Structure 1
Amino acid sequence: MFKKVISVLLLCLAFNVHAVPTDDIANILAEQEAAWNRGDLDAYMQGYWNSDKMRFVSNGKFRYGWAETLAAYKKHYPDKATLGSLTFTIKEIKMLSNYAAIVVGRWSLDRAKDNPNGVFTLLVEKIDDRWVITHDHTSD
Protein backbone atom coordinates (compact mmCIF):
# COMPACT_ATOMS: atom_id res chain seq x y z
CA MET A 1 0.00 0.00 0.00
CA PHE A 2 2.78 2.40 0.96
CA LYS A 3 4.49 1.83 -2.41
CA LYS A 4 1.25 2.67 -4.26
CA VAL A 5 0.84 5.96 -2.37
CA ILE A 6 4.46 6.91 -3.09
CA SER A 7 4.00 6.00 -6.77
CA VAL A 8 0.92 8.21 -7.09
CA LEU A 9 2.70 11.12 -5.38
CA LEU A 10 5.71 10.75 -7.66
CA LEU A 11 3.47 10.72 -10.74
CA CYS A 12 1.74 13.92 -9.59
CA LEU A 13 5.08 15.61 -9.04
CA ALA A 14 6.43 14.37 -12.37
CA PHE A 15 3.57 15.94 -14.29
CA ASN A 16 3.70 19.12 -12.16
CA VAL A 17 0.00 19.91 -12.55
CA HIS A 18 -0.77 23.66 -12.42
CA ALA A 19 -4.11 25.36 -11.98
CA VAL A 20 -4.93 27.74 -14.82
CA PRO A 21 -4.32 31.27 -13.45
CA THR A 22 -7.14 33.00 -15.35
CA ASP A 23 -8.63 34.27 -12.07
CA ASP A 24 -5.32 35.94 -11.17
CA ILE A 25 -5.21 37.57 -14.60
CA ALA A 26 -8.84 38.73 -14.43
CA ASN A 27 -8.08 40.23 -11.00
CA ILE A 28 -5.42 42.48 -12.57
CA LEU A 29 -8.10 44.11 -14.71
CA ALA A 30 -10.57 44.29 -11.82
CA GLU A 31 -7.94 46.06 -9.70
CA GLN A 32 -7.13 48.43 -12.58
CA GLU A 33 -10.80 49.21 -13.10
CA ALA A 34 -11.25 50.00 -9.38
CA ALA A 35 -8.11 52.17 -9.28
CA TRP A 36 -9.19 54.13 -12.38
CA ASN A 37 -12.63 54.71 -10.92
CA ARG A 38 -11.02 56.05 -7.70
CA GLY A 39 -8.96 58.42 -9.85
CA ASP A 40 -5.70 56.69 -8.85
CA LEU A 41 -3.61 56.30 -12.01
CA ASP A 42 -0.53 55.29 -10.02
CA ALA A 43 -2.43 52.28 -8.65
CA TYR A 44 -3.91 51.61 -12.11
CA MET A 45 -0.40 51.26 -13.52
CA GLN A 46 0.48 48.54 -10.98
CA GLY A 47 -1.10 46.04 -13.39
CA TYR A 48 1.60 46.82 -15.95
CA TRP A 49 5.18 45.56 -16.05
CA ASN A 50 7.33 48.28 -14.53
CA SER A 51 9.95 48.19 -17.26
CA ASP A 52 11.23 50.29 -20.15
CA LYS A 53 10.34 47.31 -22.34
CA MET A 54 6.60 47.47 -21.55
CA ARG A 55 4.74 48.34 -24.78
CA PHE A 56 1.50 50.31 -25.25
CA VAL A 57 -0.05 50.66 -28.71
CA SER A 58 -2.97 53.01 -29.35
CA ASN A 59 -4.17 55.52 -31.96
CA GLY A 60 -1.52 54.36 -34.41
CA LYS A 61 1.32 55.12 -31.97
CA PHE A 62 3.79 52.95 -30.10
CA ARG A 63 4.82 53.90 -26.58
CA TYR A 64 7.53 52.10 -24.66
CA GLY A 65 8.08 52.14 -20.93
CA TRP A 66 6.04 52.10 -17.75
CA ALA A 67 6.94 55.66 -16.71
CA GLU A 68 6.19 57.07 -20.17
CA THR A 69 2.82 55.34 -20.19
CA LEU A 70 1.92 56.68 -16.74
CA ALA A 71 2.94 60.20 -17.83
CA ALA A 72 0.75 59.90 -20.94
CA TYR A 73 -2.23 58.75 -18.87
CA LYS A 74 -1.79 61.69 -16.48
CA LYS A 75 -1.54 64.11 -19.42
CA HIS A 76 -4.64 62.79 -21.23
CA TYR A 77 -6.72 62.20 -18.08
CA PRO A 78 -5.86 65.12 -15.76
CA ASP A 79 -9.00 64.99 -13.60
CA LYS A 80 -11.97 62.87 -12.53
CA ALA A 81 -14.20 64.32 -15.27
CA THR A 82 -11.88 63.10 -18.04
CA LEU A 83 -11.30 59.77 -16.28
CA GLY A 84 -15.01 59.06 -15.98
CA SER A 85 -16.02 55.57 -14.92
CA LEU A 86 -14.17 52.68 -16.57
CA THR A 87 -15.65 49.26 -17.31
CA PHE A 88 -13.65 46.34 -18.66
CA THR A 89 -15.43 43.36 -20.20
CA ILE A 90 -13.17 40.38 -20.72
CA LYS A 91 -14.19 38.31 -23.74
CA GLU A 92 -11.43 35.70 -23.52
CA ILE A 93 -8.31 34.77 -21.60
CA LYS A 94 -6.23 32.31 -23.59
CA MET A 95 -3.29 30.71 -21.82
CA LEU A 96 -0.26 30.44 -24.11
CA SER A 97 1.88 28.71 -21.48
CA ASN A 98 2.24 28.59 -17.70
CA TYR A 99 3.85 32.03 -17.99
CA ALA A 100 1.90 33.90 -20.68
CA ALA A 101 -1.68 34.66 -21.70
CA ILE A 102 -3.57 36.75 -24.21
CA VAL A 103 -6.55 38.72 -22.91
CA VAL A 104 -9.12 40.11 -25.33
CA GLY A 105 -11.94 42.40 -24.27
CA ARG A 106 -13.80 45.67 -24.42
CA TRP A 107 -13.40 48.90 -22.48
CA SER A 108 -15.84 51.74 -22.00
CA LEU A 109 -15.80 55.07 -20.22
CA ASP A 110 -18.93 56.63 -18.82
CA ARG A 111 -18.42 60.41 -18.72
CA ALA A 112 -20.78 63.35 -18.51
CA LYS A 113 -19.89 64.61 -21.99
CA ASP A 114 -19.40 61.32 -23.87
CA ASN A 115 -19.03 57.57 -23.65
CA PRO A 116 -15.93 56.43 -25.55
CA ASN A 117 -15.37 52.72 -25.90
CA GLY A 118 -13.25 50.23 -27.75
CA VAL A 119 -11.38 46.95 -27.63
CA PHE A 120 -8.08 45.73 -26.23
CA THR A 121 -5.66 42.86 -26.57
CA LEU A 122 -3.19 42.33 -23.75
CA LEU A 123 -0.16 40.11 -23.43
CA VAL A 124 0.07 39.17 -19.76
CA GLU A 125 3.19 37.44 -18.52
CA LYS A 126 4.35 35.99 -15.24
CA ILE A 127 7.54 37.85 -14.35
CA ASP A 128 9.24 37.53 -10.96
CA ASP A 129 6.33 35.36 -9.80
CA ARG A 130 3.75 38.10 -10.60
CA TRP A 131 1.32 38.44 -13.50
CA VAL A 132 1.78 41.76 -15.32
CA ILE A 133 0.68 43.33 -18.59
CA THR A 134 3.73 43.52 -20.88
CA HIS A 135 1.97 44.60 -24.07
CA ASP A 136 -1.30 46.53 -24.41
CA HIS A 137 -2.97 47.22 -27.75
CA THR A 138 -6.05 49.37 -27.19
CA SER A 139 -8.23 50.95 -29.85
CA ASP A 140 -11.50 52.83 -30.22
Structure 2
Amino acid sequence: MIKKGLFALLILMAFSASAVPTDDISQVIQEQEAAWNRGDLDGYMQGYWNNDKMRFVSGDKFRYGWESTLAAYKKNYPDKATLGTLKFTIKDIKMLSNYAAMVVGRWQLTRAKDQPHGVFTLLVEKIDDRWVITHDHTSD
Protein backbone atom coordinates (compact mmCIF):
# COMPACT_ATOMS: atom_id res chain seq x y z
CA MET A 1 0.00 0.00 0.00
CA ILE A 2 2.81 2.44 0.83
CA LYS A 3 4.52 1.69 -2.48
CA LYS A 4 1.35 2.52 -4.44
CA GLY A 5 0.93 5.78 -2.50
CA LEU A 6 4.55 6.74 -3.08
CA PHE A 7 4.26 5.91 -6.76
CA ALA A 8 1.10 8.03 -7.07
CA LEU A 9 2.83 10.91 -5.29
CA LEU A 10 5.84 10.70 -7.63
CA ILE A 11 3.55 10.69 -10.68
CA LEU A 12 1.66 13.72 -9.36
CA MET A 13 4.92 15.56 -8.66
CA ALA A 14 6.22 14.79 -12.15
CA PHE A 15 3.10 16.19 -13.82
CA SER A 16 3.02 19.23 -11.54
CA ALA A 17 6.70 19.98 -12.13
CA SER A 18 6.34 19.77 -15.91
CA ALA A 19 3.37 22.15 -15.98
CA VAL A 20 4.93 24.89 -13.86
CA PRO A 21 7.68 26.05 -16.26
CA THR A 22 5.27 26.61 -19.14
CA ASP A 23 2.94 28.58 -16.84
CA ASP A 24 5.88 30.67 -15.62
CA ILE A 25 7.05 31.28 -19.19
CA SER A 26 3.55 32.27 -20.31
CA GLN A 27 3.44 34.71 -17.38
CA VAL A 28 6.63 36.43 -18.64
CA ILE A 29 4.99 36.98 -22.04
CA GLN A 30 1.73 38.18 -20.47
CA GLU A 31 3.62 40.66 -18.27
CA GLN A 32 5.43 42.00 -21.33
CA GLU A 33 2.12 42.50 -23.14
CA ALA A 34 0.65 44.34 -20.13
CA ALA A 35 3.73 46.58 -19.77
CA TRP A 36 3.68 47.46 -23.49
CA ASN A 37 0.00 48.34 -23.31
CA ARG A 38 0.69 50.63 -20.32
CA GLY A 39 3.35 52.38 -22.42
CA ASP A 40 6.08 51.02 -20.11
CA LEU A 41 8.98 49.91 -22.32
CA ASP A 42 11.30 49.57 -19.32
CA GLY A 43 8.76 47.17 -17.80
CA TYR A 44 8.42 45.36 -21.13
CA MET A 45 12.16 44.77 -21.19
CA GLN A 46 12.04 42.97 -17.83
CA GLY A 47 11.09 39.85 -19.77
CA TYR A 48 14.49 39.89 -21.47
CA TRP A 49 17.85 38.76 -20.09
CA ASN A 50 19.63 41.90 -18.94
CA ASN A 51 22.95 40.98 -20.54
CA ASP A 52 25.11 42.04 -23.49
CA LYS A 53 24.68 38.53 -24.96
CA MET A 54 20.90 38.82 -25.27
CA ARG A 55 20.09 38.69 -29.00
CA PHE A 56 17.19 40.25 -30.92
CA VAL A 57 16.76 39.43 -34.60
CA SER A 58 14.22 41.19 -36.80
CA GLY A 59 14.15 41.84 -40.53
CA ASP A 60 17.77 41.85 -41.64
CA LYS A 61 19.14 43.16 -38.32
CA PHE A 62 20.92 41.41 -35.47
CA ARG A 63 20.95 43.38 -32.23
CA TYR A 64 22.90 42.30 -29.19
CA GLY A 65 22.40 43.46 -25.64
CA TRP A 66 19.58 44.51 -23.37
CA GLU A 67 20.51 48.21 -23.39
CA SER A 68 20.72 48.48 -27.18
CA THR A 69 17.41 46.65 -27.57
CA LEU A 70 15.70 49.00 -25.12
CA ALA A 71 17.18 52.02 -26.92
CA ALA A 72 15.87 50.71 -30.26
CA TYR A 73 12.40 50.18 -28.82
CA LYS A 74 12.37 53.71 -27.40
CA LYS A 75 13.52 55.14 -30.74
CA ASN A 76 11.02 53.17 -32.84
CA TYR A 77 8.09 53.53 -30.43
CA PRO A 78 8.42 57.05 -28.97
CA ASP A 79 4.77 57.52 -27.92
CA LYS A 80 1.49 55.74 -27.20
CA ALA A 81 0.28 56.20 -30.78
CA THR A 82 3.20 54.22 -32.20
CA LEU A 83 3.03 51.66 -29.37
CA GLY A 84 -0.64 50.96 -30.01
CA THR A 85 -2.11 47.93 -28.30
CA LEU A 86 -0.09 44.72 -28.36
CA LYS A 87 -1.55 41.22 -28.37
CA PHE A 88 0.62 38.12 -28.10
CA THR A 89 -0.76 34.70 -28.98
CA ILE A 90 1.41 31.81 -27.87
CA LYS A 91 1.08 28.86 -30.24
CA ASP A 92 3.53 26.48 -28.56
CA ILE A 93 5.98 26.24 -25.69
CA LYS A 94 8.42 23.38 -26.11
CA MET A 95 10.56 22.57 -23.11
CA LEU A 96 14.10 21.83 -24.30
CA SER A 97 15.36 21.06 -20.79
CA ASN A 98 14.53 22.01 -17.22
CA TYR A 99 16.19 25.37 -17.90
CA ALA A 100 15.32 26.20 -21.51
CA ALA A 101 12.25 26.44 -23.71
CA MET A 102 11.32 27.51 -27.23
CA VAL A 103 8.22 29.68 -27.53
CA VAL A 104 6.49 30.20 -30.88
CA GLY A 105 3.66 32.62 -31.39
CA ARG A 106 2.10 35.60 -33.11
CA TRP A 107 2.09 39.30 -32.32
CA GLN A 108 -0.43 41.94 -33.38
CA LEU A 109 -0.30 45.70 -32.90
CA THR A 110 -3.52 47.66 -33.16
CA ARG A 111 -2.98 51.33 -33.93
CA ALA A 112 -5.17 54.08 -35.37
CA LYS A 113 -3.34 54.05 -38.71
CA ASP A 114 -2.46 50.37 -39.15
CA GLN A 115 -2.35 46.87 -37.68
CA PRO A 116 1.10 45.38 -38.14
CA HIS A 117 1.46 41.74 -37.19
CA GLY A 118 3.85 38.85 -37.45
CA VAL A 119 5.38 35.85 -35.74
CA PHE A 120 8.08 35.25 -33.16
CA THR A 121 10.32 32.48 -31.89
CA LEU A 122 11.87 32.95 -28.47
CA LEU A 123 14.54 31.07 -26.59
CA VAL A 124 13.59 31.42 -22.94
CA GLU A 125 16.05 30.29 -20.29
CA LYS A 126 15.99 30.03 -16.52
CA ILE A 127 18.85 32.21 -15.31
CA ASP A 128 19.33 33.18 -11.66
CA ASP A 129 16.00 31.49 -10.87
CA ARG A 130 14.07 33.65 -13.41
CA TRP A 131 12.71 32.78 -16.84
CA VAL A 132 14.05 35.36 -19.30
CA ILE A 133 14.17 35.71 -23.08
CA THR A 134 17.75 35.24 -24.25
CA HIS A 135 17.04 35.17 -28.00
CA ASP A 136 14.11 36.78 -29.84
CA HIS A 137 13.50 36.32 -33.57
CA THR A 138 10.52 38.43 -34.60
CA SER A 139 9.27 38.95 -38.15
CA ASP A 140 6.41 40.63 -39.99
Query: Normalising to structure 1: TM-score of the pair?
Result: 0.89
Shift of 1:19: 3.0
* Cα distance in 1 between the residues matched to 2:87 and 2:133: 17
* Cα distance in 2 between the residues matched to 1:35 and 1:28: 11
Q: Percent identity?
A: 77
Shift of 1:59: 1.1
Query: Which residue is equivalent to 1:139?
Result: 139
Q: Please list, as runs of the form range in 1=range in 2, the aligned pairs for 1:9-20 lying within 5 A after superposition.
A: 12=10, 17=14, 18-20=17-19
Structure 1 or 2: more helix by fraction: 2
> Quick check: 70-79 or 17-26, which moved more?
17-26
Unaligned runs of 5+ in 2: none
Dislocated runs of 4+, deviation >4 Å = none
RMSD across aligned C-alpha pairs, in angstroms? 1.8
1:104 aligns with 2:83: no
Q: Which structure has the larger Rg over C-alpha atoms?
A: 1
Query: Which residue is equivalent to 1:50?
Result: 50
One-letter code of the match for 2:102?
I
* Cα distance in 2 between the residues matched to 1:136 and 1:84: 20
Query: Normalising to structure 2: TM-score of the pair?
Result: 0.89
Query: Which residue is equivalent to 1:66?
Result: 66
Unaligned runs of 5+ in 1: none
Query: Which residue is equivalent to 1:86?
Result: 86
| Count of residue pairs the alignment pairs up | 133
Map Cα deviations across residues 52-89 of structure 1 (whole Å, 9 max, x no partner).
Answer: 00000001110000000000000000000000000000
Query: Which residue is equivalent to 1:33?
Result: 33
